[in-house]
Amino acid sequence: MDARPGLRRLLPWRAAGANPLTAVAVAAVAVVLAGPTSARDPRALDGPVATRSEPRAAGIEPRPHPTAKPQAERHHRRQVGIASFYARRFGGRRMADGTRLDLNDHVAASRTLPLGTEARVTNLETGLSTQVTIQDRGPYAKGRILDLTPAAAEAIGITRKDGVAKVEVQPLSVPPPKDDDRKD
């Protein structure tokens, strides 16, 4: 006989001789199968979400994954953020469009603008601006929106000592999407 008679009442799995991990696993499966049942369940508060079996049922759009990569923009919206410039060691390397990086050209790297986009980059501190062509992907440093060649950076007043500056990027011409990218 157990010295603590109330223990069997509090832990029914113990009285039946079951493994405590099995009991927890069975309870967790039961909760998942039951689905959202109360207003305290965060899934119940989010509203309807499209699933793979019903991609766009009843006008419900699928939510993007929170860590999804930025998609290429096909509009002429200006962006404001931090720009940096390529290090000299990247000169001569292939860019995303297949050409080699010439540090004296006015080209840039963007993660969101399509390759081939012509854009005006304005340094918000100095007011100087230049026109660049997006030919590469990047920058990969957090919080930056543009990587410039040293020539383009010098034209808008970003010095090696500064390294970065707050800029405005205004797309001037965005190339049309390729036929390969269109879905039939």
Taking the domains of the chain in order of start, what are their residue ranges? 6-59, 79-173
- Give the span between the Cα atoms of 135 and 148, in whole angstroms: 10
| Better-predicted residue by pLDDT, 106 or 41 | 106
Fold of 79-173: Barwin-like endoglucanases (2.40.40)
- Give the span between the Cα atoms of 83 and 68, in whole angstroms: 22
Nearest C-alpha neighbor of 157 from the set 89, 85, 91, 103: 85
Stretch among 9-13, 159-163, 165-169 having the lowest mean pLDDT? 9-13
- Give the span between the Cα atoms of 65 and 49, in whole angstroms: 12
- Give the span between the Cα atoms of 107 and 101, in whole angstroms: 8
Residue 79 DSSP SS3: strand
What is the reported pLDDT for 123? 97
pLDDT range class, residue 167, cuts 50, 70, 90: very high
Q: What is the average per-residue pLDDT within 121-131?
A: 97
pLDDT range class, residue 45, cuts 50, 70, 90: very low
pLDDT range class, residue 176, cuts 50, 70, 90: confident
| Both tokens assigned to 21 | 């991990």
Helices (H) and strands (E) in the chain, counts: 5, 6
Q: Are 83 and 124 in contact (CB under 8 A)?
A: no
Stretch among 14-28, 37-51, 77-91 having the lowest mean pLDDT? 37-51
With a cut of 80, say whether residue 27 has pLDDT above it.
no
- Give the span between the Cα atoms of 95 and 112, in whole angstroms: 15
Q: What is the average per-residue pLDDT within 144-160?
A: 96
What is the reported pLDDT for 129? 97
pLDDT more than 70, % of the chain:
55
Pairing of strands 107-109, 129-136: parallel
Listed in sequence order, the residues at least 6 apart from 70 whose beta carbon sits closer than 8 Å to its beta carbon are 111, 112
pTM of the predicted structure, to 2 decimals: 0.58
Alpha-carbon separation of residue 85 from 105, 113, 138, 167, 168 (angstroms): 12, 17, 11, 12, 15
| Better-predicted residue by pLDDT, 78 or 13 | 78
CA angle 131, 134, 135 (to 5 degrees): 130
